[in-house]
Amino acid sequence: MTAINPSILSADFANLAAELGRIPSSDAVHVDVMDNHFVPNLTMGLPVVKAIREATSLPLDIHLMIDEADTWAPGYAELGAESVTFHVEASQRPRQLIRDLKSHGAKAAMAIKPKTALEPHLDLLSELDMLLVMTVEPGFGGQAFMDEMLPKITAARRAVDDLGGEVAVQVDGGINRETILRAAEAGADTFVAGSAVFGAEDPDAAIEGLRQLLA
């Protein structure tokens, strides 16, 4: 089962409600929260995500690129987000945070940056719902897909398969019609696409085009 989660980082922020209405077939809305500390950019916080929650019935896939994830991440689950992703580099107590997110009814996901090794964190896999392998350095949209991350995606898929669980393997960064198949062949099943969707004249048709490639 594959999923396409368009990133609203590439949408028109002045008309977010209308932009959400342009992607009705998306599997979830990927919401990038950046704090200008963990990454050198600033996007939105809890109040804006609350407004997004009220503006759409689509599932929300929150990607927190923020410091002090242990403190702030549960608040996004409390807002009613279906999935909350924290960066392992920003958590002091990742196992407890996973459990906190789940206690608020959200799926718990963990992201790793390109320079972060996967293996030291595989002991958390059995408690996760999703593992996000970043295929760009987090913090900016529109970056080129890093092919050197393909072996990490494959290692993540192997670890998930060995576990025998239902953990999704998500990729985020530079996903478009040229790169999505490479990521899928490496083992990803959940794809964050920003400019490839919202940069199209018809974003929903762009989602369908990506699905057809995967099929």
Catalytic residues: 32, 172
φ and ψ at 42, to 5 degrees?
A: -130, 125
Place of tokens 């970043």: 134
φ and ψ at 158, to 5 degrees?
A: -60, -45
Packing angle between helix 94-103 and helix 69-78, nearest 10 degrees? Answer: 10
**DSSP 8-class letter at 49:** H
Single out the residue of 33, 78, 24 nearest to residue 56, CA to CA: 24
List binding-site positions. 7, 30, 32, 63, 139-142, 172-174, 194-195
List binding-site positions for substrate. 7, 63, 139-142, 172-174, 194-195
Question: HSE-up of 3 (CA within 13 Å, CB side)?
Answer: 20
Which amino acid makes up residue 146?
M
